Every structure is written in structure tokens, then in C-alpha cells.
Amino acid sequence: MSATILVVDDRAGIRKLLQEVLQSAGYEVISAASGNEAITIVGQEKIDLVMLDMKMSGMDGLEILTKIKEEAPHIVVLIMTAYEELEVLQEAARQGAAACISKPFDIDELKELVAQKLRAASA
Ligand SMILES: [Mg+2]
């Protein structure tokens, strides 16, 4: 059974890119454009991994991370940031984020990181 990945980003282009890349790698992909939408989906669907944009209007990325981890602590969360913000990344790691990916992505590195974190979570 393939893993289900939730992509959370306020930019449609990023959601579409990740959807295509991850689907072609064999994953089920659901996407959300906001924190509220993401949290609703996490409560309804069996999600294995979340790719979470840290910079979105409305709910802050760290707040979304906290709520996801409260709802479903087993979910692997990968943080996506457009630039290095050490304090935010440290706080995200404290709150249970598995890794951070810098935008713009290297697609091969991204796929490898997703596969690696899913393997680690199911081991
Ligand atoms: Mg954004």
C-alpha cells in the first residue's frame, strides 16, 4: 500500500509541482491551501507524511505543525522554507518536525528525503 502525503502550501504552483512529482513517485497525494484545511484533512484522512510550508497567510506554520502533532503524533512532518530562519527551524524541530527542505527544491533530493523519512517511520 502506498503512503499518503498531504502537501500544504498557499501557492498553487508549488502544490501542483509537488503533487505531480510525488504522484509520479507512487504516492497518494492530497493538497491543502491553508492551515485550517490541512488540519481538517489530518482529522479525516489517514495521512503518513505532511509537507508543510512555513510561510502562509492566516495560520503560522509552527501553529499548524503543533496542531497536526496534537491530532496525529505519528505523522511525519517535513518543513518547507524559502529561506533559512534558524530560530523557526529549531522550534519546528522541537515540535517534532522530521526535517526541513529549502525552496527552491532539488526534486531528486526531495523524493529521497520523503522516501527515507517514510522508511524510518515505518521501521
Ligand atoms: Mg507560502
Q: Where are the domains of the chain?
A: 4-122
pTM: 0.93
| Alpha carbon distance 58, 81 (integer Å) | 16
Helices (H) and strands (E) in the chain, counts: 5, 5
Query: Quick one: fold of 4-122?
Result: Rossmann fold (3.40.50)
- Distance in Å, CA 1 to ligand 1 centroid: 30
Q: How far is the CA of 28 from the centre of ligand 1 (A)?
A: 22
When pLDDT is cut at 50, 70 and 90, the band that residue 84 belongs to is low
For the stretch 11-22, pLDDT in tens is 999 999 999 999
Maximum alpha-carbon separation in the chain? 37
Q: Ligand 1 centre and the CA of 54: distance in Å? A: 7
